[in-house]
């Protein structure tokens, strides 16, 4: 780990800069998230990461419930929360046309990066606290898709898929067929 300045922490794939929520909101066109009192900026995802996000979005789009849509990298900041995250994918029914939504999505998806702690601890905790009913993590390293469902304000693992054609679910019994081997090739 190196330090860009006394206030900024840098790792190989992200930079964290402490700042107030007000300072974050005053930024224009920032490509980052704000949580834990820090602006968190990550580098562009790899080609493989982006391909997985795109392929999964196409599969999810085929099974969307009426009035729902799937979008990549749209900001989410619930009302009254002074943080903002941008999941790799969200399924939602929001009609907002802003750079972020305050509405709770039906599904949140993260393709794990090299900083796994961010997606599996920091973001997972927030997504649960914010009321996301289902959280999928796609793990390229361990070749798995894990379905987490919200129970009593905490996520519990509902399914772990490791190979073949699988059915992952979310919402009110929405099922998405995924060829996991093709997705994670």
The residues spanned by each domain of the chain are: 1-43, 45-183
Q: What is the DSSP letter of 65?
A: P
Strand-by-strand arrangement of the 134-139 sheet: 69-72, 89-92, 107-111, 134-139, 144-151, 154-161
Number of helices (H) and strands (E) in the chain: give both, helices first. Answer: 5, 15
Do 103 and 93 form a contact (C-beta atoms < 8 A)?
Answer: yes
pLDDT tens for each residue of 115-173: 898 899 999 999 999 999 999 999 999 999 999 999 999 999 999 999 999 999 998 89
Q: How many residues does the chain have?
A: 185
Do 134 and 147 form a contact (C-beta atoms < 8 A)?
Answer: yes
Q: How confident is the model at residue 94 (pLDDT cuts 50, 70, 90)?
A: confident
- Check residue 6 and give its pLDDT: 42
Indicate if the pLDDT at residue 180 is higher than 60.
yes
Q: Which residue in the block uniquely carries the two structure tokens 């903002």?
A: 84
- Check residue 96 and give its pLDDT: 80
State what percent of residues in the chain have pLDDT above 90: 78
> 170: helix, coil or strand?
strand
- Cα dist from 71 to 74, 91, 139, whole Å: 6, 7, 20
Nearest to 89 by CA among 113, 40, 55: 55
CATH superfamily name and code, 45-183? tt1808, chain A (3.90.1570.10)
């Amino acid at each position: 780990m190196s330090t860009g300045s006394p206030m900024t922490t840098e790792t190989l794939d992200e930079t964290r800069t402490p700042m107030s929520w007000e300072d974050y909101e005053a930024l224009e066109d920032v490509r980052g998230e704000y949580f834990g009192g820090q602006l968190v900026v990550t580098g562009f995802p790899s080609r493989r990461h982006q391909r997985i996000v795109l392929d999964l979005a196409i599969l999810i789009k085929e099974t969307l419930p009426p009035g729902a849509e799937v979008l990549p990298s749209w900001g989410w900041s619930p009302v009254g929360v002074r943080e903002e995250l941008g999941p790799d994918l969200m399924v939602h029914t929001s009609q907002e046309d802003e750079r972020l939504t305050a509405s709770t999505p039906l599904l949140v998806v993260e393709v794990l990066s090299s900083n796994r702690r961010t997606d599996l601890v920091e973001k997972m905790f927030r997504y649960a606290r914010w009321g996301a009913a289902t959280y999928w993590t796609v793990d390229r390293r361990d070749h798995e898709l894990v379905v987490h469902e919200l129970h009593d304000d905490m996520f519990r693992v509902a399914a772990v898929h490791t190979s073949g054609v699988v059915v992952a679910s979310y919402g009110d019994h929405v099922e998405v067929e995924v060829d996991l081997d093709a997705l994670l090739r």
